[in-house]
């Protein structure tokens, strides 16, 4: 039996090369922006913020100065204002995080559409798929909450007797919980990863909602489960290999950038004994330039990596079901050459 995940390894390399070369600064810059949001959204992990305010049902505290246990006249007690400020800060952080994740979810469709049409247009694809991106965000949030809830139940089952019972603790229960914990993490990762890599293209190919696309994709995946199992294994290996190569490229880039930036910083160090302010300013500018340069380099390195991984998934998806093939023309050119 031919494994599509094996065939797609070389095909995705050829497709990535054709899409990214010859080098076009405008295309790479737009893809770098997309990768910035897509890479961050892929590691979605929601957090719940809970809190409570003290109730007023207790006995009144005397306010006479000098009474034991009574705050001094100048003391400031945390009250409604302080709690409101904390809640507002937390709310702003949550909203900013959700906004960032929303952009990342929409960018998933922008990236796939760019590979499909072999042209990058953020504004056009955004306007076409922002609604689908909202649905993807909701799905990711719910999946994340369910995963955290499952982890919480496992933790309560293991630590509950110790925290809320008679102090007993079962080492055997702990060992049993470890594989269950791992199983939940694997299932959640597969559901999230397959949604991004396969269900999003199905949504684009057949103009479906997310749940409808999952229902459409499910019989294809289960009917050819060996193909998708091979993809899951090889895809994991490829991501590790891509991560290693990206890290090596980043280190080489850091070394190359550190030489000129280091020279500038040394000039600042030399000026410290003459004009201290100017010396520190030059050092600060050199450090800032290095950080910004490494940030840009990281995004540029991520462009071919993300492009390859998405092409790889699209090749496997199209091989298992022709109706889902978004890159039929590119596939034909590569396999006939």
Contact criterion met (CB below 8 Å) for 116 and 208? no
pLDDT of 42 above 80:
no
What mean pLDDT comes out for the span 129-142?
96
What mean pLDDT comes out for the span 53-72?
45
- Of 11, 1, 2, the C-alpha closest to 325 is 11
Query: Mean pLDDT over all residues of the chain?
Result: 87
Residues 6+ apart with CB under 8 A from 260: none
The 10s digit of each residue's pLDDT in 170-225 is 677 778 888 999 999 999 999 999 999 999 999 999 999 999 999 999 999 999 99
pTM to 2 decimal places: 0.83
Q: d(Cα 209, Cα 203) in Å, to the nearest integer?
A: 6
pLDDT of residue 165: 61
Q: d(Cα 289, Cα 280) in Å, to the nearest integer?
A: 14
- SS3 state of residue 79: coil
Residue 39 is inside which H or E element, if any?
Answer: helix 25-41
How far, CA to CA in Å, does 286 sit from each of 184, 270, 301?
46, 14, 22
Q: d(Cα 27, Cα 24) in Å, to the nearest integer?
A: 5
- Of 193, 186, 96, 107, the C-alpha closest to 150 is 186
Residue 299's pLDDT band (cuts 50, 70, 90)? very high
Residues 6+ apart with CB under 8 A from 325: 205, 314, 317, 318, 331
């Amino acid at each position: 039996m031919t494994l599509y995940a094996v065939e797609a390894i070389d095909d995705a390399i050829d497709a990535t090369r054709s899409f990214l070369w010859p080098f076009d600064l405008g295309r790479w810059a737009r893809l770098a922006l997309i990768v910035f949001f897509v890479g961050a959204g892929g590691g979605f992990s929601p957090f719940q913020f809970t809190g409570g305010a003290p109730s007023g049902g207790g006995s009144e505290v005397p306010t006479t100065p000098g009474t034991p246990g009574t705050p001094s006249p100048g003391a400031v007690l945390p009250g409604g204002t302080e709690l409101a400020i904390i809640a507002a800060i937390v709310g702003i952080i949550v909203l900013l995080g959700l906004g960032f994740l929303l952009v990342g979810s929409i960018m998933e469709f922008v990236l796939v559409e760019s590979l499909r049409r072999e042209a990058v247009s953020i504004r056009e694809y955004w306007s076409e798929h922002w609604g689908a991106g909202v649905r993807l965000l909701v799905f990711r949030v719910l999946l994340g909450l369910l995963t955290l809830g499952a982890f919480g139940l496992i933790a309560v089952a293991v630590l509950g007797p110790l925290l809320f019972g008679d102090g007993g603790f079962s080492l055997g229960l702990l060992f049993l919980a470890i594989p269950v914990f791992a199983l939940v993490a694997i299932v959640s990762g597969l559901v999230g990863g397959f949604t991004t890599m396969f269900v999003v293209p199905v949504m684009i190919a057949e103009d479906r909602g997310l749940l409808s696309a999952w229902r459409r994709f499910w019989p294809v995946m289960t009917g050819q489960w060996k193909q998708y199992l091979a993809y899951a294994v090889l895809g994991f290996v490829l991501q590790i290999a891509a991560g290693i190569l990206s890290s090596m490229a980043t280190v080489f880039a850091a070394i190359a950038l550190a030489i000129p930036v280091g020279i500038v910083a040394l000039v600042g160090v030399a000026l410290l004994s003459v004009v201290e302010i100017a010396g520190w300013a030059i050092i600060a500018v050199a450090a800032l330039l290095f950080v910004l340069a490494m940030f840009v380099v990281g995004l540029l390195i991520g462009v071919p990596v993300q492009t390859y991984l998405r092409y790889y998934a699209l090749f496997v998806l199209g091989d298992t079901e022709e109706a889902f093939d978004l890159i039929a023309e590119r596939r034909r050119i590569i396999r006939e050459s």
